[in-house]
Each structure stands twice: as structure tokens, then as C-alpha cells.
Structure 1
Amino acid sequence: MSTENTMRAIRQDVLGGPEVLQEVRLERPSPRPNEVLVRVHAAGLNPTDWKHRANGGFLGKPPFVLGWDLSGVIEETGIGVALFKAGDEVFGMLPYPFGHGSHAEYVTVPAHALTRKPSVIDHTQAGALPLVSLTSWQALVDTADLQPGQRVLIHAAAGGVGHAAVQIAKARGAYVIGTASAGKHDFVRGLGADEVIDYRETDFTEAVRDVDVVLDTVGGDYTRRSLSVLRPGGILVTILPRGSKELPLEAEKLGVRATEMLVDADHHGMTAVARLVEEGKLRPTIAGAFPLAEAAKAHEIGDAGRTTGKLVLVMD
């Protein structure tokens, strides 16, 4: 393959630990109708990346290139694209889960999955935002219809989704309670949280009452236990769906609601996120930025599960 028509990418051919990630050269894709070709400048990493790397998840068996977040510049537009032109700076999330592939120098993206990158942040910051911000927006706004003055409990408030959710909830005028380890309390309060609970020392079900919305980013028994802290008519939104009917039925018995969701690509949601960024109400915290060749190192850190904010791959 001619280097003019190829690109660097991080691919895996087998499932496993970070060591299975290899830098390879692949053919550069071409945009189909309603798609754009983006030259990636930065691409965020999320827990779904290391989970898919290890067990295949929705994607099944490799080979594949992971990555859903991206910020970059449009290189070429496909037939029918009216939103953008070559040279536009954009950011967004590839359709989840089967639109993966942003951990590469180029990727094709449905035009509706993107919006213009705010000029007040750089590509590294923009590349950290899409999946976590869209998840938070779709959970809190689209699903829970969070209103000013309502009380919201956000689990793992210092994590990727959590730290975006705290800011989005505050921008909506909510009273925000977050769970986090003691060492991260100042960070979470700095994001705007009104209360922070040390989940290692305190049972949140004893410390919290009468919240309107719970955003569950943890799963396990946190999901079921969170139902008890909702006020009558309140709603739990979990971003770790189990695909069972038990949770909504249990919620109904308690006089509350529960729903499971997966994030999806969304131009209007990304535009709302961009507006919050432009207004100074949403900023990512970058836990680490790594050149593409060091993707395995970034995954090692992600696997440890102690990250505050986001990890990002930067094309060098």
C-alpha cells in the first residue's frame, strides 16, 4: 500500500490486555453518501474501550480499531453532506456501538454525528468530551427531563461521565449530590456539586433521600439500591443496561421509575454540548494525553479504574 493512501491506526487482532493493541497501517477510508472523512487530531478513551478490548462486547471477535470520541478537521465530504465542508473543525461521537474506529489518523463519520468544535477549547479537550457529555445529556435532559431546583444524585462523580454530568446538571439549575472517594471531593465540588459523599465510608442510601433523578454510572447493586433514595415519581437512569425487565418492575413497586440507556450519536445533543462549552459551563478534565503509539499505556491506566476525568489519544 502506498503511504499516501494509508493511515496509522491502533488495531487488535485478538482479545486481551493492553498488550494486544498494535500500531498498524491501514487503507485510508473514503466517505460514502452523507458521511465525512475526518482527519483526527484527538480521540478520547472511555471504559467501553478497555471492556471491548478485553471481551469483545458488542463487537465480537477482532480484528477491529476501537474509539468513539473524536475531534478533528474534515478532509473530504461525501455526496449529500450539507452541514460541513472540507476544512471545518468538528467534534462528536461515532455511532455507538458499531461505528467505532476513531483511534486512527482518519475515520469516516456520518455527518449528523458531528458538530462544530467550539473555538474556546483545543482538539485535545474537544476529543475528551463527546461520549461522556452525550451520555450525560441524553440521560439527564432527554430521558430524565431534569429541571431547575430538582435534586440529582450522580454516582462516580469524578469519573468520565460523572464529571461531565455534574457540570451539565448544574447548568440545568439542579442541586447536585455526587459520590466519590474522599481524595476526589475537592475536585467534584470544584465542578459545582453541592454535596459529595464518600462511598467508601458512607452508605449513600442512608445519606441521601428524596432525590428527583439518579444517574447510575456504576452498575451492580448500586442500580437496585439507588431506587430507595428517589422521591415518589423520581427516576433512575442507568447507563449500564442489563437488558432485563426486573429493574422497571421493582421501581414500579416503589412508586418510582427506572430506565436503562445506551448513548447514541446525536447532532443536536452535540450542538447542545458545544453551546455549554462556549458558555463556559462545561470543560473536560484531562487525566492524561498520549500519542497514538502509546495507546496501550493509556489502556493500562484506564484498566486501573482510578482515573479522574478523561484519557485522550493525540495524533502526533
Structure 2
Amino acid sequence: MMRALLLDRPGPPSSLRVGDAARPVPGVGEVLVRVDAAALNPVDYQLASGGHPLWTYPHIPGLDIAGVVHDAGPAPDPRLPVGTRVAWHQDLRRPGGLADYVTAPAAVMAVVPPEVSMTVAASLPCAGMTAYQAVVRRLRPERGQYALVQGASGGVGGFSVQLLAAAGATVIATASAPNHAYVRGLGADTLLDYHRTDLGAALRAATGERGFDVVVDLVSPASAERGLHLLRHGGGLAAVAGRPSLDTVEPFGIAPSLHEIALGAAYTHGDRGHQADLALMLTELLRLVAEGSLAPLPIETVGLADTPDALERLARRHVRGKIVVRLAGLESI
């Protein structure tokens, strides 16, 4: 048996409880990982409230995981011998990482370099890989371009700002006023309060009326629609929190490209290649962090019993950076 955070039925974070669960057994091509840390994401409380048709209860949540390979099933991966430090983004249909042990396919796991702590490694997958997919894989910004990040103070926003700035773009971001200094410290050139009634005009003015080459929207379909109208000809928008309709812009005009970002869909709609690509993206992020080119976001650590309260705070949407649940050891971040 093992400790785990258990969801007996769909409900709010307060319905989660710490209890005992059977230790999982790895299948073919899978490994059993002893969990060191698991990061919390908005999708955790969103899924808990509605459940999933493929879950069996009690269900163990937790999608962003870092730990040490403890055992392997048949056909073990030679990349991941016992004792290897790994991190990955879990398939949401499976039991998650808020437990002492969890299993997952070896192919989706990235090896954590020695320079990166397990706490930091756990904080990267969902937010970092979503930002990487949006900025590096889809939008491909270039030096001298104007980039907009709408909702920049959260996890995906913080990594997006850094990746855009590293590419040489002029980064303009929206966030609430108390978060302006924080986002500017990540590399944003201009900050605007999203509460402004003239926000659209102010954003366009920030580009000298030129318009944006790339937009990363992390707020809503309505916000993404505003971003779509702020693009210059040939610009691109990555929608993370819901896509806008291209019908809202004149056809054969600015000719925008629209990219819907759905990281976990690699499991539900992708093939093995798409799933292995999750490991490639995370490996690159871990390398950037290890060499100091990408800064981890601020991390608050909590224990397993404090996780329901942490998810409640996350649901109120005022958490800066990441919350990471520590399950083993006292390693510093």
C-alpha cells in the first residue's frame, strides 16, 4: 500500500482526502516511479469537479510529476534504469502523481539533469511545455517582432514571456497591476493592466499602431478574439484558454494563423510519436533551466495533506508561479 490523495467522487478540492491506495504495477513499456514532487495546475481542480468517464474511484489526481525510477515492467527502456531521476506530464485518464508511487509509459519521461532539483523539475511540465509548444513550436517569433502575452502572471504566461524575450521579440504583456514588476522581471518590455477600459487601443498604441506579429492568449476565447484583431498581416495567435473564431476577422485581409494549444491531447488524440514528443519538449526545457537560460517560476511547496487548500487557492486565480507538493525528502528548490 501507499499514501495518496484520493477523490472518491467528482467534487471541489475540499472533497479530496489523504488515504491508502494499492501500489500500482508497471505494464509493458512502463516504469514505476517513486514520487518526489508533483506540481498543481488549474486542470487538477477543473477535472476533480467534473470527473472523467474513464476514471475508477477513488481517483488519484496530479499531472506534473518528478521522481525516481523504482521498477520497470516487461520490455524496459534502457534509457531509464532503476534510480534514474525523471519528470513528465501524465495522461489525465490515468491515476496521477499525488501519491508515493505512480506508473507511466517510459517513452513520455524526460531525464532530470543533476543541476535541476526535483521540485523545479515537477514545476515545469504543464506550464513550461504549453508555453514551449505555443512559442517555439507554433508561433516561432523572430528578433524585432512585437509579441503580446495576455494573462502573463501565471505559469504559462511566465514561461511564454521568457521564451519570447529570448527570441528577441519586444514583449508586451497584460496582467493585474500588482503583478507588473514580477512580469517585467521575467523579460516583458511593457505591462498593461487588463482592467483598462481602453485596453485594445492601448495595446495597439504600444506597437506604434503596427500591430502584433504573435499573440499568446491565456485568458479566454473573448480575450483571444481581441488578440486576433490586434494582429498585423500574417501574424499568428496561440490560444491556450479557448480559441476564437476566425469568422470575426475579414477574410483575405490580415490572413492570420490560429494555433490551438492542447498539450494533453497528445495522449487522447495523438500517436506514440506525439507522446514521445512530450519527453523531447520537457528535455529541452530542463536543459535550458540547467544552463541558466530559463528561470524557474517562484515555487511554493506544500505537503500532501495541504493539497486541497492549495487547490482552493489556485482556483481563485491569484497564485503567482507554481505550487509543488513534496512527497519525499527535504530537498531545497
Do both share a fold (TM > 0.5)? yes
User: Which residue identity does 2:233 align to in structure 1?
Assistant: P
- Structure 1 residue 300 and structure 2 residue 312: aligned? yes
Q: How does 1:267-278 map to 2 (within 5 A)?
A: 267-278=279-290
Kept in 2, the 8 Å contact 1:212–1:235? The answer is: yes
Matches of 1:32 and 1:281, distance apart in 2: 37
1:130–1:251 CA distance, 2 compared to 1 (3 A): farther
Q: Structure 2 CA distance, aligned partners of 1:64 and 1:146?
A: 40
For the residues of structure 2 that align with 1:89 and 1:33, how far apart are their CA atoms? 20
The partner residue of 1:207 within 202, 211, 214 is: 202
Classify the secondary structure of the residue corresponding to 2:181: helix
SS in 2 for 1:65: coil
Match of 2:15 among 8, 16, 20: 20
For the pair 1:228 / 2:229, whether they are aligned, the reply is: yes
Residue 86 (structure 2) pairs with residue 90 (structure 1): yes
Q: Does 1:122 align with 2:117?
A: yes
Instruction: Tell me how far apart the structure 1 counterparts of residues 48 and 327 of structure 2 sit (CA, whole Å).
Output: 20
TM-score normalized with structure 1 length: 0.90
Tell me how far apart the structure 1 counterparts of residues 305 and 50 of structure 2 sit (CA, whole Å): 22
Structure 1 gaps of 5+ residues are: 1-5
Is 2:257 the partner of 1:257? Answer: yes
Superposition pairs of residues 68-87 of structure 1, within 5 angstroms: 68-78=63-73, 79-87=75-83
Residue number among 106, 113, 116 corresponding to 1:111 in the alignment: 106
The Cα RMSD (Å) is: 2.0
Matched, 1:52 2:47: yes
Distance change (3 Å), C-alpha of 1:111 and 1:203: farther
Query: Which residue number in structure 2 is paired with residue 3 of structure 1?
Result: none
Q: Which residue of 1 is the match for residue 272 of structure 2? A: none
Q: Distance in 2 between matches of 1:56 and 1:252?
A: 39
Does residue 1:101 correspond to 2:106, yes or no?
no
Aligned-pair CA distance for 1:16: 2.0
Large movers: runs of 4+ above 4 Å: 57-62
Gaps of 5+ in 2: 205-210, 265-274, 329-333
Identity rate, percent? 36
Identify the range of structure 1 (250-259 vs 286-295) with the bigger mean alpha-carbon deviation. Answer: 250-259
Mapping 1:30-49, distance limit 5 Å: 30-49=25-44
Deviations 1:196-252 (A, max 9, x none): 11112354321223111111111141021111111111111111346xxx7134356
Question: Aligned residue for 2:137?
Answer: 142
In structure 1, C-alpha distance between the alignment counterparts of 2:113 and 2:197, rounded to whole Å: 39
